[in-house]
Amino acid sequence: MGIIKTNHVSYDYVRVNDEGVEEEKERALEDVSIDVYPGSFVAILGANGSGKSTLARHLNALLAPSEGTVWVDGMDTSKEENVFPVRREAGMVFQNPDNQIIAGIVEEDVAFGPENIGVPTKDIWKRVEEALEKTGMAAYRMHSPNRLSGGQKQRVAIAGTLAMHPKCIILDEPTAMLDPGGRREVIETVAELNEKEGVTVVLITHYMEEVVYADHVFVMQDGKLAMEGPPREIFSKVEELQKYKLGVPQITLLAHELRKSGLDIPEGILSEEELAEAICRLR
Protein backbone atom coordinates (compact mmCIF):
# COMPACT_ATOMS: atom_id res chain seq x y z
CA MET A 1 0.00 0.00 0.00
CA GLY A 2 1.18 3.51 -0.84
CA ILE A 3 1.88 6.28 1.59
CA ILE A 4 -1.37 7.97 0.61
CA LYS A 5 -4.33 5.87 -0.33
CA THR A 6 -7.95 6.79 -0.80
CA ASN A 7 -10.56 4.10 -1.13
CA HIS A 8 -13.83 5.04 -2.90
CA VAL A 9 -13.88 8.46 -1.30
CA SER A 10 -16.88 10.72 -1.75
CA TYR A 11 -17.41 14.09 -0.16
CA ASP A 12 -20.45 16.35 0.16
CA TYR A 13 -20.26 20.00 1.08
CA VAL A 14 -23.32 20.40 3.27
CA ARG A 15 -24.91 23.73 4.00
CA VAL A 16 -26.85 23.75 7.25
CA ASN A 17 -29.24 26.46 8.35
CA ASP A 18 -29.38 28.10 11.77
CA GLU A 19 -31.22 25.19 13.34
CA GLY A 20 -28.55 22.77 12.16
CA VAL A 21 -30.85 21.22 9.59
CA GLU A 22 -29.33 20.19 6.31
CA GLU A 23 -30.35 22.63 3.58
CA GLU A 24 -28.25 21.89 0.61
CA LYS A 25 -25.76 19.26 -0.40
CA GLU A 26 -23.13 19.49 -3.05
CA ARG A 27 -21.16 16.46 -4.08
CA ALA A 28 -17.58 17.58 -4.64
CA LEU A 29 -15.91 14.16 -4.76
CA GLU A 30 -17.40 10.98 -6.12
CA ASP A 31 -15.82 7.58 -5.68
CA VAL A 32 -12.19 8.64 -5.88
CA SER A 33 -9.54 5.99 -5.35
CA ILE A 34 -5.91 6.92 -5.65
CA ASP A 35 -2.73 5.30 -4.45
CA VAL A 36 0.50 7.23 -4.08
CA TYR A 37 3.75 5.35 -3.60
CA PRO A 38 6.41 6.58 -1.19
CA GLY A 39 8.97 8.79 -2.89
CA SER A 40 6.89 9.38 -5.99
CA PHE A 41 5.90 12.67 -7.60
CA VAL A 42 2.22 12.72 -8.42
CA ALA A 43 0.33 15.44 -10.26
CA ILE A 44 -3.40 16.05 -10.06
CA LEU A 45 -4.95 17.94 -12.96
CA GLY A 46 -8.44 19.17 -13.52
CA ALA A 47 -10.52 22.16 -14.60
CA ASN A 48 -11.90 24.70 -12.12
CA GLY A 49 -14.34 23.16 -9.68
CA SER A 50 -13.35 19.60 -10.52
CA GLY A 51 -12.65 18.82 -6.85
CA LYS A 52 -8.86 19.03 -6.73
CA SER A 53 -8.69 21.19 -3.61
CA THR A 54 -11.34 19.12 -1.91
CA LEU A 55 -9.28 16.00 -2.54
CA ALA A 56 -6.11 17.73 -1.33
CA ARG A 57 -7.80 18.67 1.94
CA HIS A 58 -8.64 15.04 2.53
CA LEU A 59 -4.99 14.07 2.30
CA ASN A 60 -4.12 16.33 5.21
CA ALA A 61 -7.12 15.56 7.42
CA LEU A 62 -8.55 19.05 6.93
CA LEU A 63 -11.64 17.29 5.65
CA ALA A 64 -12.88 13.81 6.46
CA PRO A 65 -14.60 11.83 3.71
CA SER A 66 -18.40 11.47 3.71
CA GLU A 67 -17.98 7.99 2.29
CA GLY A 68 -14.92 5.81 1.88
CA THR A 69 -11.58 5.96 3.66
CA VAL A 70 -8.35 7.91 3.37
CA TRP A 71 -5.12 6.47 4.75
CA VAL A 72 -1.96 8.46 5.18
CA ASP A 73 1.01 6.32 6.12
CA GLY A 74 -1.42 3.67 7.27
CA MET A 75 -3.47 6.02 9.47
CA ASP A 76 -7.18 6.45 8.86
CA THR A 77 -7.69 10.23 8.63
CA SER A 78 -11.27 10.13 9.86
CA LYS A 79 -10.17 8.96 13.32
CA GLU A 80 -9.91 11.87 15.75
CA GLU A 81 -6.63 10.71 17.26
CA ASN A 82 -4.97 10.50 13.85
CA VAL A 83 -5.66 14.08 12.78
CA PHE A 84 -2.48 15.67 14.09
CA PRO A 85 -0.15 12.76 13.25
CA VAL A 86 -1.54 12.87 9.70
CA ARG A 87 -0.97 16.61 9.40
CA ARG A 88 2.57 16.07 10.56
CA GLU A 89 3.20 13.41 7.91
CA ALA A 90 1.52 15.29 5.08
CA GLY A 91 2.46 18.95 4.86
CA MET A 92 0.32 21.27 2.80
CA VAL A 93 1.16 24.31 0.69
CA PHE A 94 -1.66 26.52 -0.52
CA GLN A 95 -2.23 28.73 -3.49
CA ASN A 96 -2.07 32.23 -2.08
CA PRO A 97 1.45 32.92 -0.82
CA ASP A 98 0.32 35.82 1.39
CA ASN A 99 -2.38 33.96 3.24
CA GLN A 100 -0.30 31.10 4.61
CA ILE A 101 2.63 32.90 6.13
CA ILE A 102 1.85 33.47 9.77
CA ALA A 103 4.90 35.17 11.23
CA GLY A 104 6.51 38.47 10.30
CA ILE A 105 9.99 37.04 9.81
CA VAL A 106 10.90 34.19 7.49
CA GLU A 107 12.67 31.99 10.05
CA GLU A 108 9.89 32.45 12.59
CA ASP A 109 7.34 31.39 10.06
CA VAL A 110 9.28 28.25 9.25
CA ALA A 111 9.37 27.54 12.97
CA PHE A 112 5.59 27.77 13.35
CA GLY A 113 4.91 24.11 12.52
CA PRO A 114 7.63 22.61 14.74
CA GLU A 115 6.50 24.91 17.59
CA ASN A 116 2.97 23.61 17.26
CA ILE A 117 4.02 20.00 17.56
CA GLY A 118 6.17 20.70 20.61
CA VAL A 119 9.67 20.25 19.18
CA PRO A 120 12.30 21.35 21.73
CA THR A 121 13.86 24.77 21.07
CA LYS A 122 17.29 23.50 20.08
CA ASP A 123 15.83 21.13 17.50
CA ILE A 124 13.58 23.83 16.10
CA TRP A 125 16.64 25.87 15.17
CA LYS A 126 18.20 22.88 13.48
CA ARG A 127 15.04 22.09 11.56
CA VAL A 128 14.56 25.69 10.46
CA GLU A 129 18.12 25.91 9.24
CA GLU A 130 17.80 22.66 7.32
CA ALA A 131 14.47 23.55 5.79
CA LEU A 132 15.68 26.97 4.63
CA GLU A 133 18.83 25.40 3.24
CA LYS A 134 16.89 22.82 1.27
CA THR A 135 14.58 25.40 -0.26
CA GLY A 136 17.39 27.80 -1.02
CA MET A 137 15.97 30.50 1.26
CA ALA A 138 18.73 30.55 3.86
CA ALA A 139 19.88 34.00 2.75
CA TYR A 140 16.45 35.42 3.52
CA ARG A 141 15.92 34.00 6.97
CA MET A 142 15.76 37.38 8.68
CA HIS A 143 13.62 39.03 6.00
CA SER A 144 10.01 40.10 6.29
CA PRO A 145 7.80 37.93 4.05
CA ASN A 146 6.13 41.06 2.71
CA ARG A 147 9.28 42.02 0.87
CA LEU A 148 9.78 38.68 -0.88
CA SER A 149 8.66 37.79 -4.38
CA GLY A 150 5.76 35.39 -4.82
CA GLY A 151 8.07 32.51 -5.70
CA GLN A 152 10.19 33.15 -2.64
CA LYS A 153 7.12 33.28 -0.41
CA GLN A 154 6.03 29.89 -1.71
CA ARG A 155 9.48 28.50 -1.02
CA VAL A 156 9.14 29.79 2.54
CA ALA A 157 5.81 28.02 2.78
CA ILE A 158 7.45 24.84 1.52
CA ALA A 159 10.22 25.26 4.07
CA GLY A 160 7.52 25.70 6.72
CA THR A 161 6.08 22.28 5.96
CA LEU A 162 9.52 20.70 5.56
CA ALA A 163 10.46 21.78 9.06
CA MET A 164 7.81 19.41 10.38
CA HIS A 165 9.70 16.56 8.72
CA PRO A 166 6.77 15.34 6.66
CA LYS A 167 6.88 12.22 4.54
CA CYS A 168 4.88 13.90 1.84
CA ILE A 169 4.01 17.40 0.73
CA ILE A 170 0.73 18.30 -0.91
CA LEU A 171 0.80 21.47 -2.97
CA ASP A 172 -2.54 22.95 -4.01
CA GLU A 173 -1.85 25.09 -7.07
CA PRO A 174 1.24 26.63 -5.49
CA THR A 175 2.14 28.46 -8.71
CA ALA A 176 -1.27 29.79 -9.74
CA MET A 177 -0.50 33.33 -8.58
CA LEU A 178 3.11 33.49 -9.73
CA ASP A 179 4.87 34.79 -12.83
CA PRO A 180 6.69 32.27 -15.05
CA GLY A 181 10.00 32.86 -13.26
CA GLY A 182 8.47 32.26 -9.84
CA ARG A 183 6.67 29.22 -11.15
CA ARG A 184 9.87 27.59 -12.34
CA GLU A 185 11.58 28.48 -9.05
CA VAL A 186 8.90 26.75 -7.00
CA ILE A 187 8.52 23.67 -9.16
CA GLU A 188 12.25 23.13 -9.36
CA THR A 189 12.49 23.37 -5.58
CA VAL A 190 9.76 20.78 -5.25
CA ALA A 191 11.29 18.47 -7.86
CA GLU A 192 14.64 18.67 -6.13
CA LEU A 193 13.13 17.81 -2.74
CA ASN A 194 11.47 14.83 -4.31
CA GLU A 195 14.63 13.66 -5.98
CA LYS A 196 17.21 14.34 -3.28
CA GLU A 197 15.23 13.95 -0.08
CA GLY A 198 12.78 11.35 -1.27
CA VAL A 199 9.80 13.41 -0.12
CA THR A 200 6.59 12.22 -1.72
CA VAL A 201 5.00 15.06 -3.68
CA VAL A 202 1.38 15.55 -4.63
CA LEU A 203 1.20 18.55 -6.92
CA ILE A 204 -2.13 20.00 -7.90
CA THR A 205 -1.83 22.29 -10.86
CA HIS A 206 -3.39 23.95 -13.85
CA TYR A 207 -0.14 24.18 -15.74
CA MET A 208 0.63 21.20 -17.89
CA GLU A 209 4.29 22.12 -18.11
CA GLU A 210 4.68 21.28 -14.44
CA VAL A 211 3.42 17.77 -14.96
CA VAL A 212 6.63 16.93 -16.79
CA TYR A 213 8.27 16.27 -13.43
CA ALA A 214 5.62 13.82 -12.31
CA ASP A 215 5.85 10.03 -12.33
CA HIS A 216 2.13 9.63 -12.30
CA VAL A 217 -0.82 11.85 -13.21
CA PHE A 218 -4.43 11.89 -12.09
CA VAL A 219 -6.98 13.88 -14.07
CA MET A 220 -10.16 14.95 -12.32
CA GLN A 221 -13.46 15.95 -13.83
CA ASP A 222 -16.64 16.82 -11.91
CA GLY A 223 -15.41 15.25 -8.72
CA LYS A 224 -14.51 11.98 -10.38
CA LEU A 225 -11.23 10.51 -11.42
CA ALA A 226 -11.24 10.75 -15.20
CA MET A 227 -7.79 9.59 -16.25
CA GLU A 228 -4.76 8.13 -14.59
CA GLY A 229 -1.32 7.12 -15.80
CA PRO A 230 2.25 8.20 -16.45
CA PRO A 231 2.52 11.70 -18.01
CA ARG A 232 3.54 10.40 -21.40
CA GLU A 233 0.49 8.21 -21.61
CA ILE A 234 -1.80 11.00 -20.44
CA PHE A 235 -0.37 13.46 -22.91
CA SER A 236 -0.75 11.09 -25.79
CA LYS A 237 -4.50 11.51 -25.41
CA VAL A 238 -4.68 15.10 -26.53
CA GLU A 239 -8.33 15.04 -27.55
CA GLU A 240 -9.47 13.55 -24.28
CA LEU A 241 -7.51 16.12 -22.27
CA GLN A 242 -9.08 18.92 -24.24
CA LYS A 243 -12.47 17.44 -23.47
CA TYR A 244 -11.68 17.94 -19.77
CA LYS A 245 -10.85 21.59 -20.53
CA LEU A 246 -7.17 21.08 -19.92
CA GLY A 247 -4.66 22.98 -22.01
CA VAL A 248 -2.05 20.67 -23.45
CA PRO A 249 1.54 22.02 -23.57
CA GLN A 250 2.17 23.71 -26.88
CA ILE A 251 5.03 21.39 -27.75
CA THR A 252 2.86 18.33 -27.20
CA LEU A 253 0.12 19.90 -29.26
CA LEU A 254 2.53 20.67 -32.08
CA ALA A 255 3.79 17.09 -32.07
CA HIS A 256 0.22 15.86 -32.04
CA GLU A 257 -0.71 18.00 -35.03
CA LEU A 258 2.39 16.92 -36.93
CA ARG A 259 1.50 13.31 -36.27
CA LYS A 260 -2.06 13.88 -37.42
CA SER A 261 -0.79 15.35 -40.67
CA GLY A 262 1.01 12.12 -41.38
CA LEU A 263 4.51 12.46 -39.93
CA ASP A 264 5.88 9.55 -37.97
CA ILE A 265 6.24 11.20 -34.58
CA PRO A 266 5.47 9.37 -31.34
CA GLU A 267 2.59 10.52 -29.13
CA GLY A 268 3.18 12.13 -25.75
CA ILE A 269 6.11 14.38 -26.61
CA LEU A 270 6.85 16.51 -23.54
CA SER A 271 9.82 18.71 -24.40
CA GLU A 272 11.28 20.66 -27.29
CA GLU A 273 14.40 18.49 -27.30
CA GLU A 274 12.34 15.36 -27.67
CA LEU A 275 10.42 16.79 -30.60
CA ALA A 276 13.62 17.99 -32.25
CA GLU A 277 15.06 14.52 -31.87
CA ALA A 278 11.96 12.87 -33.27
CA ILE A 279 12.01 15.18 -36.27
CA CYS A 280 15.70 14.49 -36.88
CA ARG A 281 14.97 10.80 -36.80
CA LEU A 282 12.41 11.19 -39.58
CA ARG A 283 14.93 11.26 -42.38
Partner 1 sequence: MLKDITLGQFYPAESKIHALDPRVKLVGTLLYVVSLFLFHNLAGFLLATAFLFFLIHMSKVPVSYILRGLKAIFILMVITAIFNVLFTPGTTIVHVWKIRITWEGVRAAVFMFIRLTYLVMGTSLMTLTTTPTRLTDGMESLMAPLEKIHAPVHEVAMMMSIALRFIPLLVDETDKIMKAQMARGADFESGNFWRRAKSMVPILVPLFVSAFRRAGDLALAMEARCYQGGEGRTKMKPLVYGRNDGKAYAVLWIYFAAMILVRIFLNLPHVPLLGH
Q: How far apart are CA 82 and CA 73, in angstroms?
A: 11
Identify which of residues 13 and 245 has a Cβ nearer to partner 1 in the complex. 13
For the chain, the distance separating the N- and C-terminal CA atoms, rounded to the nearest angstrom, is 46
Identify which of residues 156 and 227 has a Cβ nearer to partner 1 in the complex. 156
* Binding at 54: pick from Mg ion, partner 1, ligand ATP, none (beta carbon under 5-8 Å per type): ligand ATP
Q: Could you tell me the smallest distance in angstroms from the CB atom of residue 21 to partner 1?
A: 24
Q: Produce one character per residue of 220-248: b if its CB has 16 or more CB atoms within 10 Å, e if not.
A: bbebbbbbbeebbebbbbbeebeebebeb
* Binding at 179: pick from Mg ion, ligand ATP, partner 1, none (beta carbon under 5-8 Å per type): none
Q: Could you tell me the smallest distance in angstroms from the CB atom of residue 270 to partner 1?
A: 31
**Identified binder of partner 1 from the candidate list 6, 40, 78, 100, rule CB under 8 A:** 100
Strand 75-76 to 67-72 pairing: antiparallel
Q: Produce one character per residue of 51-79: b if its CB has 16 or more CB atoms within 10 Å, e if not.
A: bbbbbbbbbbbbbbbbebebbbbebebbe
Q: Check binding of 161 to partner 1 (CB under 8 A).
A: yes
Q: Could you tell me the smallest distance in angstroms from the CB atom of residue 124 to partner 1?
A: 4
**Identified binder of partner 1 from the candidate list 23, 26, 67, 115, rule CB under 8 A:** 115
Q: Check binding of 51 to ligand ATP (CB under 6 A).
A: yes
* Residues 51, 223 contacting (CB under 8 angstroms): yes
> What does the binding site for ligand ATP look like in residue numbers (CB under 6 A)?
13, 26, 28, 46, 48-54
